[in-house]
Amino acid sequence: MAENTVADFEGDEVEVVVDAEMAGGRLDATLARVHTVLSRNRIKDLILEGAVSIDGKTVSEPKYRLTAGETITLLAPPPEDADPQPQDIPLDILFEDDQLIVVNKPVGMVVHPAPGSPDRTLVNALLFHCGDSLQGIGGVKRPGIVHRLDRDTSGVMVAAKTETAHKHLSAQFADHGRTGPLHRAYLAYVWGSTETAKGTVDAPLGRDQNNRLKQAVRRDGREAITHYFVEARFGGEGWDITRVQCHLETGRTHQIRVHMAHIGHPLVADTVYASGYATKINRLPADVAQPILALGRQALHAAELGFEHPVTGEEMFFEADLPPDLQALDDALQNHDKAFAR
Where are the strands (E) in the chain, listed by range?
Answer: 13-17, 52-54, 57-58, 71-75, 93-96, 100-105, 154-160, 183-191, 198-202, 205-207, 215-217, 225-236, 239-248, 300-308, 315-319
Is 202 labeled as catalytic in the residue annotation?
no
Smallest Cα–Cα separation from 188: which of 129, 263, 127, 135?
263
Phi-psi region of 192 (alpha: psi -120 to 50; beta: other; left: phi over 0): left
Query: Whole-angstrom Cα distance, residue 254 to residue 329?
Result: 22
Q: Which residues pair with 15 in a beta bridge?
A: 73
Helix axes 27-34, 40-48, angle to 10 degrees: 130
Nearest-angstrom CA–CA distance, 166 and 248:
21
Candidates 45, 119, 132, 150; catalytic one = 150
Dihedral over Cα of 62, 68, 70, 72: its sign: positive
The number of angstroms, rounded, from the C-alpha of 112 to the middle of its chain's C-alpha atoms is 12
The Cα–Cα gap between 156 and 179 comes to 22
C-alpha 268, offset from chain centre: 22
- Give me the active site residues, please: 150
